[in-house]
Homo-oligomer: A and B are copies of this chain.
Amino acid sequence: MSTKEKLRIIPLGGVGEVGKNMIVLEYADDIIVIDCGVMFPDEEMLGIDLVIPDATYLEEHKEKVRGIIITHGHEDHTGALPYIWPKLRVPIYASRLTRGLISVKLREHKILDESYLHMISAGEILSLGAFRVEFYHVCHSIPDGIGLAIHTPVGTVVHSGDYKFDQTPVDGRLTDYARLSKLGEEGVLCLLGDSTNAEKPGFTPSEKVVSETFDHVFAQTTGRIIVATFASNISRIQQVIDAAVQHNRRVGILGRSMIDNVRMALELGYLNLRGTQLLRLDEMTRQPPSRVAIVTTGSQGEPTSALTKMANQDYKGLQIIPGDTVIISATAIPGNEELVNHTIDNLFRLGANVIYEKAMQVHVSGHGSQEDQRLLLSLLKPRFFIPIHGEYRHLTLHARLAQQVGIAPDNILTIENGTVVELDEHSIHHNGSVPAGYVFVDGLGVGDVGEVVLRDRKLLSQDGVVMVSVVINAQTGEPLNDPDIVTRGFVYEREAGDLLSAAREYVRQTIEDHRAGPAGWSFYNNLIREQLSTFLYEQTHRRPIILPVVMEV
Interchain CB contact under 8 A, B464 and A461 = no
Interchain CB contact under 8 A, B464 and A457 = yes
Interface residues of A (CB under 8 A from B): 42-43, 46-47, 199-200, 334-335, 337-338, 341, 344-346, 348-349, 354, 358-359, 391-393, 396-397, 442-445, 448-450, 452-454, 456-465, 467, 469, 471, 481, 484, 486, 488-492, 495-496, 539-542, 545, 547, 549, 551, 553
Q: Report the minimal beta-carbon distance from A377 to chain B, rounded to whole angstroms.
A: 19
**In the complex, chain B residues whose CB is within 8 Å of the CB of A442:** 540, 542
Given contacts A47-B462, A337-B337, A495-B448, contact A199 B359 (CB under 8 A): yes
Q: Report the minimal beta-carbon distance from A516 to chain B, rounded to whole angstroms.
A: 21
Interchain CB contact under 8 A, B393 and A345 = yes
Main secondary structure of the interface of A (DSSP, over half): mixed
Q: Report the minimal beta-carbon distance from A528 to chain B, rounded to whole angstroms.
A: 13
Interchain CB contact under 8 A, B345 and A488 = no
Interchain CB contact under 8 A, A392 and B465 = no
Which of A346, A481, A489, A491 has the largest number of chain B CB atoms within 10 A? A489
**In the complex, chain B residues whose CB is within 8 Å of the CB of A43:** 43, 338
Interchain CB contact under 8 A, A444 and B540 = yes
Q: Report the minimal beta-carbon distance from A455 to chain B, rounded to whole angstroms.
A: 8
Interchain CB contact under 8 A, B542 and A456 = no
Interchain CB contact under 8 A, A471 and B338 = no
Interchain CB contact under 8 A, A393 and B348 = yes
Given contacts A471-B551, A551-B469, contact A488 B391 (CB under 8 A): no
Interchain CB contact under 8 A, A491 and B445 = yes
Interchain CB contact under 8 A, A338 and B337 = no
Interchain CB contact under 8 A, A547 and B457 = no
CA distance A458 to B450 in the complex (A): 19
**In the complex, chain B residues whose CB is within 8 Å of the CB of A349:** 392
CA distance A520 to B82 in the complex (A): 47
**In the complex, chain B residues whose CB is within 8 Å of the CB of A553:** 471, 553
10 further interface pairs, Cβ-Cβ under 8 Å (given A43-B43, A345-B393, A460-B489): A199-B358, A443-B463, A445-B542, A448-B496, A449-B492, A453-B489, A465-B547, A467-B547, A486-B547, A551-B551
Given contacts A465-B465, A488-B465, A549-B469, contact A391 B449 (CB under 8 A): no
Q: Report the minimal beta-carbon distance from A369 to chain B, rounded to whole angstroms.
A: 11
CA distance A397 to B46 in the complex (A): 35
**In the complex, chain B residues whose CB is within 8 Å of the CB of A484:** 549
CA distance A469 to B539 in the complex (A): 27
Interchain CB contact under 8 A, A46 and B462 = yes
**In the complex, chain B residues whose CB is within 8 Å of the CB of A199:** 358-359
Please name the residue on chain B nearest to A545 by beta carbon. B488
**In the complex, chain B residues whose CB is within 8 Å of the CB of A547:** 465, 467, 486, 488, 547
Interchain CB contact under 8 A, B344 and A334 = no
Please name the residue on chain B nearest to A199 by beta carbon. B358
Q: Report the minimal beta-carbon distance from A400 to chain B, rounded to whole angstroms.
A: 9
Q: Which of B200, B396, B457 contacts A461 (CB 8 A)?
A: B457
CA distance A43 to B303 in the complex (A): 14
Interchain CB contact under 8 A, B443 and A542 = yes
8 closest Cβ pairs, A-B complex: A443-B541, A461-B461, A460-B460, A456-B489, A345-B392, A47-B462, A457-B489, A199-B358
Q: Report the minimal beta-carbon distance from A336 to chain B, rounded to whole angstroms.
A: 10
Q: Report the minimal beta-carbon distance from A44 to chain B, rounded to whole angstroms.
A: 9
**In the complex, chain B residues whose CB is within 8 Å of the CB of A42:** 338
Q: Report the minimal beta-carbon distance from A547 to chain B, rounded to whole angstroms.
A: 5
Q: Report the minimal beta-carbon distance from A341 to chain B, rounded to whole angstroms.
A: 7
